[in-house]
Amino acid sequence: MPTTTLWTPPASFTDHANLTAYRAWLAANHDLTFTDYESLWTWSTEEPARFWETMAAYFDVQFHEPPTATLQGTMPTASWFAGATLNYAEHLFRQRDDARPALIFRNETGGYDLSWRDLETQVIAVQDWLRSRGVGPGDRVAAYLPNIPEAIICFIAANGLGAVWSCCSPDFGVETVIERFSQIDPKVLIVCDGYRYNGKPHHRLKESNAISKGLRISGVNTLRVPYLEPETRARDAASYFPDLAPVTSPASGGRAPASVTFTPVPFDHPIWVLYSSGTTGRPKAITHSHGGVLLEHLKYLAFHNDAKAGENFFWFTTTGWMMWNFLQASMLVGAVPVLYDGSPGYPSLDRLWTLAEQLPIHHFGTSAPYLTACMKKGLEPGKIADLSALRSLGSTGAPLPPEAFDWVYSAVKQDLWLCSMSGGTDVCTAFVGGIPGRPVRRGMIQGRALGCALHAFDEAGTQVQGTLGEMVITQPMPSMPIYFWNDEGNARYRASYFADFPGQWRHGDWIRIEADGQLIIQGRSDATLNRKGVRIGTAEIYRVLDQIPGLQDSLVLNLERPDGSDHMPLYVVVTDALTDALKDTINQELKTQCSPRHVPDEIIAVPDIPYTLSGKKMEVPVKKILLGMDVSKSLNRDAVRNPEALDWFLQQPKQQA
């Protein structure tokens, strides 16, 4: 399906891309040459063991003990680099360069740059505290922290000791946090006194204490971070962490800090536990490995984001989203992570764009809804700020509509690499995203990531091209979960990904892959609209609705009836009133731009659309509510960003499922 090309990378861009250097290295060291990216991708997925061996060699991964085998077994029990030992945090410090900061932090009131020396000093102090509490390899360290330097400091400290990290954002409710952390039985807890958002401090001491009590973690095993104290406080060990003794340098007359500890652990040793949204059941405690995410993050940041040493790498995220883990991983390739805590719309939507000029930001990452919001607001970042240093713009979290592609190239910057990407908490990376050297086409994701054997399957399990199908991964990847924590017999793990296509990973998205490798994702397959045998991705409808003035938000469902018929309501949030004229416009645009099947049976105004804490529309939970299913035991309101939005749907008449 031909689409408009919005940007073609100049030769200077492609020639200096990290991916180009890797291809030259393959030719020189392995006598492997490829005519184009698609042939390189094919090799990387047909020979996964050899490809991932080259990743370890190309990035000079520091094995303390070398592997005895690269890949053993198949999904879901495949294992990688048997016998190897290493440490993820050690690779973060390999890129230390005292001429640049270790990381950059900004929030709604100010911020600062953290030097490598200060980072090292603080990590040492936290490691001393963790050791004094008996924390060692395999112990869990849980944190309730915003996106601030202390979160990265604590992660590195725990990771360096071989402990298992797990973090929740302080905008999560108490029960939501306890539901997650109680699954992993943490030995210690790290908490903050609150966070800032939309110009206001949000105090969380009460919640922090409740979490500590709920997890039965004593005060002596709880480390406090005084984030809401005045920003003018001195930046030393005592002010970062008041529970710690200061660690000072010889110049100040104190003791010399020891070096950071990097404990070698097996390749498949757990690095962290991430969680599924938990809106309709107990969150899955998704556990990844040290070596798996190290190789994956090196590959993706270098080749698919093209991040380079000394560049500032930003992604707007909280610690409750896997993009926080991905953001700090930019340190692996020598980039400087830019952390931001606060609202992207305070004091106005241009806040992050002006920040991109000031720092400057070379790689700007955000969510598709944020870019769509800027577009609808009529924002013109390219006129607001000097974005000459900006090289790439990343988008994830939801499909980016074609109109937002147009807006980026008309309102942000013409000479810009727009990297729409999609992945998930399940693998802590993206399956598909940016491909240096390929043009950016309107509404399209550039391609499948190296080493990710992703295909579209029809209902019979046959690979299809140019038509909508299930997203299925047919070969193992090192960053796939090693297991779900406390999942006896790996029952939930197998049911989550391998029930539909045995031995192959079904991710739960609809995808269409074109002949040239570019692709479109059209929403979650478990929220698919099946209209008279034709599968429709919800993103197709949202893409059209995003263009219509007077519509603020929307949610579309298809409700199957016991008699075999179905009903497709469209719920909308409107600026003023839902008039007949607006309904006619909606129906006509959907019919014209899509098809008559895309026209809803009913359009209903609602006060708000419910979202998960990670910003996903809650299509499946709302569908279950309206079908009359009992969700009282599985629906966790604390895992909903705006739980009051659910109340309207809960009060509606139900049909029997």
Look at residue 178 in the predicted model and tell me its pLDDT. 93
Residue 530 has pLDDT above 80, yes or no: no
| CATH class held by domain 85-292+307-343 | alpha beta
Q: What is the DSSP string of 551-619?
A: EEEEEE--EE-TTS-EE-EEEEEESS---HHHHHHHHHHHHHHT-GGGS-SEEEE-S---BBTTS-B-H
Quote the percentage of the chain above a pLDDT of 70: 94
Query: Encoding tokens for residue 90?
Result: 């050690």
Q: How far apart are CA 489 and CA 447, in angstroms?
A: 35
Look at residue 157 in the predicted model and tell me its pLDDT. 98
Give the mean pLDDT of 57-75: 98
**Beta-carbon count within 10 A of 396 CB:** 25
The tens digit of pLDDT for each residue in 385-413 reads 999 999 999 999 888 889 999 999 999 99
Can you give the residue ranges of every domain in the chain? 85-292+307-343, 528-650
Look at residue 251 in the predicted model and tell me its pLDDT. 38
The tens digit of pLDDT for each residue in 618-637 reads 998 898 888 887 777 667 88
Query: Of 239, 183, 241, 190, which is closest to residue 219 (Cα–Cα)?
Result: 190
Residue 256 has pLDDT above 60, yes or no: no
Residue 535 has pLDDT above 90, yes or no: no
Query: Encoding tokens for residue 236?
Result: 């030393």
Look at residue 257 in the predicted model and tell me its pLDDT. 56
Look at residue 629 in the predicted model and tell me its pLDDT. 76
Q: Tell me whether domains 85-292+307-343 and 528-650 share a fold.
A: no
Q: Which residues contact 468 (CB under 8 A, 6 or more apart)?
A: 456, 510, 511, 512, 522, 535, 537
Strands 336-341 and 392-396, bridge-based pairing: unpaired
Q: Which residues contact 525 (CB under 8 A, 6 or more apart)?
A: 470, 471, 508, 509, 510
Look at residue 230 in the predicted model and tell me its pLDDT. 59
The tens digit of pLDDT for each residue in 600-611 reads 999 999 999 999
Residue 232 has pLDDT above 50, yes or no: no
Residue 186 has pLDDT above 80, yes or no: yes
Name which residue leads in pLDDT, 59 or 468: 59
Q: Which residues of 18-51 are buried (b: 16+ CB within 10 A; e: fewer)?
A: bbbebbeebeeeeeeeeeebbebbebbbeebeeb
- Which element (helix H / strand E) includes 117? helix 116-132
Give the mean pLDDT of 191-214: 95
Question: How deeply is 444 buried, as exposed, middle or buried, from its count of CB atoms within 10 A (0-12, 13-18, 19+)?
Answer: buried
Query: Encoding tokens for residue 464?
Result: 């299809």
Position 343 confidence tier, pLDDT thresholds 50, 70, 90: very high
Give the mean pLDDT of 181-206: 95
**Beta-carbon count within 10 A of 347 CB:** 10
Residue 422 has pLDDT above 60, yes or no: yes
Residue 252 has pLDDT above 70, yes or no: no
* Helix 116-132 vs helix 149-160: crossing angle, to nearest 10: 60
Q: Whole-number mean pLDDT of the chain? A: 92
Look at residue 231 in the predicted model and tell me its pLDDT. 47
Q: Domain 528-650 belongs to what architecture? A: 2-Layer Sandwich (3.30)
- 3-state SS, residue 158: helix
Are residues 399 and 539 in contact, defined by beta-carbon separation less than 8 angstroms? Answer: yes
Are residues 330 and 97 in contact, defined by beta-carbon separation less than 8 angstroms? Answer: no
What is the pTM for the complete model shown? Answer: 0.88
Look at residue 543 in the predicted model and tell me its pLDDT. 85
Q: How far apart are CA 376 and CA 389, in angstroms?
A: 25
Query: Of 221, 616, 197, 273, which is closest to residue 428 (Cα–Cα)?
Result: 273
Give the mean pLDDT of 25-52: 98
Look at residue 254 in the predicted model and tell me its pLDDT. 46
Quote the percentage of the chain above a pLDDT of 90: 77
